[in-house]
Amino acid sequence: MSNSVYDTYVSPLSTRYASAEMKFNFSDRKKFTTWRSLWTLLAQAEQELGLDITDQQLKELRDNVDNVNFAAAVEEEKLTRHDIMAHVHTYAACCPTAGPIIHLGATSCDIGDNADLIVLRDAFDILLPKLAGCVKTLGEFADEHKHLATLGFTHFQPAQLTTVGKRACLWLQDLILCEKNISRVRADLKFRGIKGTTGTQASFLQLFNGDYEKVRELDNRVTRLAGFPASYSVTGQTYPRIVDAEVVSSLSILGAAVHKMCTDLRLLAGMNEIGEPFEPTQIGSSAMAYKQNPMRSERVCSIARYLMNLVNNPLSTASVQWLERTLDDSANRRLCLSEAFLAADSIMLTLQNILEGLSVFPKVISRNIEKVLPFMATENIIIAMVKVGGDRQVCHEKIRVLSLEAASTVRLEGKDNDLLDRIVKDPYFAPILDQLPHLLDPSTFIGCAPDQVKYFLKEEVQPVVNKYISKIKSSATKLDI
């Protein structure tokens, strides 16, 4: 059989959807070089605290962090059935002087788990600026359209008017809440630290001849050298697996927020009020050549649905970690943690592309408003009649009868809403006919929506954008597929 990439399974997240930087973050190269960096930091801290480790050995370790023989590691793992020890052996092979002190006193999770936490931290640092970029672009869209009246919907039935910008702020509010949640989870991440086999640090206590303060300082030094402010005070063999559940949960919540937003965009695209980007050579349907399907929003919903369901994996894993640990977490975590971030990353990439190319169709929006605005204006008409001396109950009854007649015309005959014509023809309403243009002006039905947008963008959106402004990419996001 051929060795071509086309002859084996590859994940769509790595070939079609996620970014290069997120894929690298979960790559073998990143993982194994991080392991080597941690072995180096451990040796450095052990030397600083008095163990017999030479500067030459440390230099040899540092010089070979990137010198990974991947093929040799694969062969070693076939023999040892242990990934960490396979890489201890291959690292030692290119560090003949330092080989004897690699992994000194450590257990696998002193390296593997701490490396995982570094990868999770870095994944958050890749994802959060992309989320902020979507917030920024959507905020600009909301500001541009804060005065544009549009039909509001409850139960997907026409309701009071809102504005296109105000509706966008509903999406923004969800994204703001997601940023707050994800950034908190990122800030709460701690290092596992140097804890040993079952978390008791027994091997390190032996290395330092019973000096617990040195053991404690070793933990603190490696933690700081790895870029973490603190480690978990107590652990079993692993860091608390509930942390993984919290990490994936924060991403799953983002998936739900973006799924809701892109579902709204799909509905609005079906009403021809808003359209997502559509390339000149893009094909919407193999059969129906006229179609312009909202395929980007559909992609977001599809991947978001996958992301939302991933949270059950770390929840289950955390619930079955027997005593100090069990290994049935390992294979599941390899899949779940990486795919959660790759999925979230791909969603942010596609959403940014959608937001940068959103089109709004005001004439369609206006026509849709006109179909139902006469019904919405009835309360204004009643009030106007009362102000010129009319009886509220009499006016209400006349409006009720005319509205039912107009509704019947729309539903049974398929004609346009003619309630306004019926009102104009009824002599009872003659005293307010000159007020009708104002009473039917859509801008008088949107309440405080424009001001709500203005202050929301200023008070809640802009601070989030400012947090990441130096990391937000300004160029348009192009999707390869």
Q: Which residues have a catalytic role annotated? A: 155, 285
What does DSSP say about strands 359-360 and 157-163: parallel, antiparallel, or unpaired? Answer: unpaired
User: Distance between CA 168 and CA 177 in Å, rounded?
Assistant: 14
Please give the distance of CA 226 from its chain centroid, rounded to a whole number. Answer: 26
The answer to whether 27 touches 66, Cβ cutoff 8 Å, is no
Decide: 219 and 194 in contact? Cβ < 8 Å: yes
Least Cα distance to 168 among 195, 148, 189 occurs for 148
Q: Tell me which residue of 98, 33, 43 sits closest to 68, measured CA to CA.
A: 33
Q: Around Cβ 196, how many Cβ atoms within 10 Å?
A: 22
Question: What pairs with residue 115 in β-bridges?
Answer: none
Instruction: Match 């080989």 to its residue by tokens.
Output: 99
Q: Please enumerate in sequence order all residues whose Cβ is within 8 A of that of 164, keeping only pairs 6 or more positions apart, or say none.
A: 145, 146, 148, 150, 274, 360, 365
What contacts 296, CB < 8 A, 6 or more positions away?
A: 276, 277, 350, 353, 354, 479
CA atoms of 223 and 226, how far apart (whole Å): 5
Count other Cβ atoms within 10 Å, centred on residue 199.
20
Q: Is the Cα torsion angle 193, 333, 480, 289 positive or negative in sign? A: negative
Neighbouring CB atoms inside 10 A of 88's CB total 23
Task: Tell me the two tokens of residue 414.
Answer: 């398929």
Q: How many CA atoms lie within 13 A of 170 on its CB side?
A: 13
Q: Kindly give the interhelix angle for 449-456 and 164-188, rounded to the nearest 10 degrees.
A: 30
Closest CA to 175 of 351, 27, 370: 351
Q: What are phi and psi of 108, to 5 degrees?
A: -55, -40
Helix axes 242-270, 108-144, angle to 10 degrees: 30
Q: How many C-beta atoms lie closer than 10 Å to residue 374's C-beta?
A: 23
Could you give the angle at which helices 312-319 and 330-356 cross, rounded to 10 degrees?
160
Among residues 16, 8, 97, the alpha carbon closest in space to that of 295 is found at 16
